[in-house]
Chain A
Amino acid sequence: MPAQSTDAENHQTGHPLTGMLNMHRFVFCPGCLIGTVITSLAACLKAENLTARDYAIVSGIGCTGRSSGCFKAPAFHTTHGRAIPFATGLKLAKPRIKVFVLSGDGDISAIGGNHFIHAARRNIDISVICVNNSVYGMTGGQAAPTTQLGDITSTTPYGNMEPPFNLVGLAAASGATYVARWPGYDTLRLQKSMRKALNREGFSFIEIIVPCFTQYGRRNRKESAIEMMESLRAIVDLRVGCPPHEAALDLNKGRAVCGEFVETDRVGLIESLQKLRGRLKEGGSGKQ
């Protein structure tokens, strides 16, 4: 059946991001804001005039894990939870390039939790964008460390008994120097935050709330993806200067504190390494 004539021809070359994205690799459910996160990041990279030689995207496993392939850049689809150490090695070996980690909440805080807190502790100069849909979507809707108390998932059929992580608090406590949380639809603030992360040095962590209807909403008696987004919109509480440990995210109780929570400067690992090399070249013992 022929499609209505739209600007298909013009569009192939017309959309400003076609040069940055592999359009055929968008495999997400219709309406899933992971796609929006990807196009937002691509828009930021384009706005900063960055090309394939300036950055790399690393992802783990899961729905968000498929996002790295959507970028026309050095893109790495690594193993579950291990995107952050891969990104660390990449950045240490070639500090010139900007390294982004695009992973889901399970990838980052469950299996990847150890790598997450250590990367923050080291203040390694990478930007971690965590898409939080409170569930393991790709594998069929199992519980995640961010699943809300009482929620039904495929591995918590009687209701989840474990309270969720506050990823913002976790990142801040581990030493991240830029921590923010945004709802996935707030593209203007999201893009501004992403541009801030990519232009600064140090470990940046941006948590993005992205509702998953297919695996999470259906089981918890939500009406539709649209309804999930509307209810998220109703409870988002944008704050300035909220302490990270008070950044509650409880979708059932109706609290989603968003905004920027940490923005500080701390000497990062790359900087320390470069200073060490400088000291050794001058013929010193290397000790500070």
Chain B
Amino acid sequence: MKNDGITVEKQSALSAPAPVLSTGNYACAEGALAAGCRFFGGYPITPSSEVAELMSRRLPLVDGTFVQMEDEIASIMACLGASFAGVKAMTATSGPGLSLMAESIGLAVMMEVPLVIVTVMRGGPSTGQPTNASQSDVYQVRYASHGDYELIVLAPGSVQEMYELTIRAFNLSESYRTPVIVAADGTLGQMMEPLCLKTAVEQVQRKGPQVSPQDYKPFQVLDEDLVPAMAVAGTDYDFYATGLTHDENGNPSMDPESAEKLITRLCAKIRRARIHINDWETYCLKDAKLVVLAYGTNARGVREAAEQMRAEGHKIGMVRLKSLWPFPDELMDQLGRRVQKVVVSEMNNGMLIREVERFRHRFRVAGITVPTPVPLRPRDIYQRLLEEI
């Protein structure tokens, strides 16, 4: 049954036979447009403002809506409203803005709203270093909101990935009816690289109701993926979406069983799908005894150091994470079977390394974690790796 024009379709993005030179922020906006985003509610914040700026120029050209709201809270709430009107929506911010959006992320999880939030991480805490990068929001992107929930967070490592992973973020958010965060960093947002725009982009649309309005229950789960069908405003469907714990009819229910049932399902919805969600890139894992784990722009320096060590004959491998949450426990299992030591390199005081340390019964864990606002230099990483190997 069609639901007000939402069907699976292929969208042709702007065709560009040759790569264009683009910043990471612009690439992210291009990816959003290619994925079908037609609403952007935003608030300027360094170093992500360019995402909003490009969207403000392009959205009216494709019958979309750009609105600069009065603050970050208003931005994300406007995106939630737009998503419930059936329009794919996105907002872009940085650490301080994401802190403000925390409550609303929880609302998006509870109401099961497809939504993409781009955060271009900068030096923190507090106002920190607005024009520099960092990777110190690793836990914030996952745990910003209160309560028990799972969240999908993707970690692009290049301008091309800003484009591709934003598209992926939209598709994941529509598939699982959940907010998805794209966590870049300030360097990635501002640097320029060649970008290959795709001529055909696969767009996933949210599941529409398959029953009549009289029989529709907004949070009833009929499929194995634990995702309920989503009715939107402006159709014949009436439904109640509330942030309170609710039953499948949307009725607020304060008994313990309802809470258990709902929260278990909301978490299982994402956890069960982790093998489809999680993504990483490997380098020379085959005979590696030591593996370096990195993500984002910092991974480039790590890669260079790893390549140098390989050239010198060290049995070193590398994994670059393209998604941070749900944390890839299955990757840790794989590494646990063959690797003796995992070194985690990140531009913070030690965050993702804590997740890796959960597996220290399988391999030894060390860190090259520096709370620095610029990617670590390859030679510094190389020196540290020599000590670790």
Contact = CB atoms under 8 A, between A and B. Distances in A.
A86 B107 CA distance: 11
Contact of A89 (B61, B63, B89, B237): B89
B235 A85 contact: no
B380 interface: no
A120 to B, nearest CB: 11
A78 B65 contact: no
A115 to B, nearest CB: 6
Most A CB contacts (10 A, CB to CB) among B81, B87, B239, B244 go to B81
Interface stretch (A141-149, A255-263, A272-280): A272-280
Contact of A97 (B60, B73, B233, B252): B233
B225 interface: no
Nearest to A70: B240
Contacts of A72: 238
Given A69-B242, A77-B242, A79-B243, A58 B252 contact: no
A93 B82 contact: yes
B262 to A, nearest CB: 15
Contacts of B103: 79
A282 to B, nearest CB: 12
A269 B41 CA distance: 14
A25 B107 CA distance: 21
Nearest to A278: B60
In this complex, the member of B74, B236, B252 whose beta carbon has the largest number of chain A beta carbons within 10 angstroms is B74
Contacts of B61: 280
Interface residues of A, number: 41
B44 interface: no
Contacts of A82: 73-74, 77, 104
B130 to A, nearest CB: 22
Interface string A81-101: 010011111111110110000
Contacts of A56: 233-234
A161 B231 CA distance: 47
Given A115-B74, A273-B65, A77 B233 contact: no
B232 to A, nearest CB: 7
B352 interface: no
A273 B67 CA distance: 10
B85 A88 contact: no
Interface size class of B (residues with CB under 8 A): 35 or more
A85 B235 CA distance: 21
Contact of B63 (A24, A88, A277, A286): A277
Contact of B85 (A68, A79, A93): A93
A76 interface: yes
Contacts of B109: none
Interface string B46-75: 000000000000001101010101110111
Interface string B21-53: 000000000000000001101000000000000
Contact of B81 (A22, A53, A89, A269): A89
B241 A89 contact: no
B86 to A, nearest CB: 7
B251 interface: yes
B351 to A, nearest CB: 27
Nearest to A96: B234
Nearest to A71: B238
Contacts of B235: 52-53
A89 B82 contact: yes
Given A93-B86, A93-B87, A75 B41 contact: no
B197 interface: no
A77 B239 CA distance: 11
B65 A77 contact: no
B270 interface: no
Given A69-B252, A92-B39, A92-B65, A74 B77 contact: no
Given A75-B241, A78-B80, A79-B104, 20 more contacts: A52-B238, A68-B240, A73-B238, A74-B84, A76-B242, A78-B107, A85-B41, A85-B77, A85-B78, A89-B39, A89-B41, A89-B78, A89-B85, A92-B78, A93-B83, A93-B86, A114-B70, A115-B74, A273-B60, A276-B60
29 contacts: A52-B238, A53-B236, A56-B234, A72-B238, A74-B231, A74-B233, A74-B237, A74-B238, A76-B81, A76-B84, A76-B111, A76-B241, A77-B241, A77-B243, A79-B77, A79-B104, A85-B41, A85-B69, A85-B78, A90-B82, A92-B81, A93-B87, A94-B233, A96-B234, A114-B74, A118-B70, A118-B74, A280-B60, A286-B60
Interface of B: 38-39, 41, 60-61, 63, 65, 67, 69-71, 73-75, 77-87, 89, 103-104, 107, 111, 213, 231-244, 250-252
Interface of A: 22, 24-25, 51-53, 56, 58, 68-69, 71-79, 82, 85-94, 96-97, 114-115, 118, 269, 273, 276-277, 280, 286
Can you list the 8 inter-chain pairs with the closest CB atoms, starting with the nearest? A89-B81, A89-B78, A90-B81, A77-B242, A93-B85, A93-B82, A74-B233, A85-B74
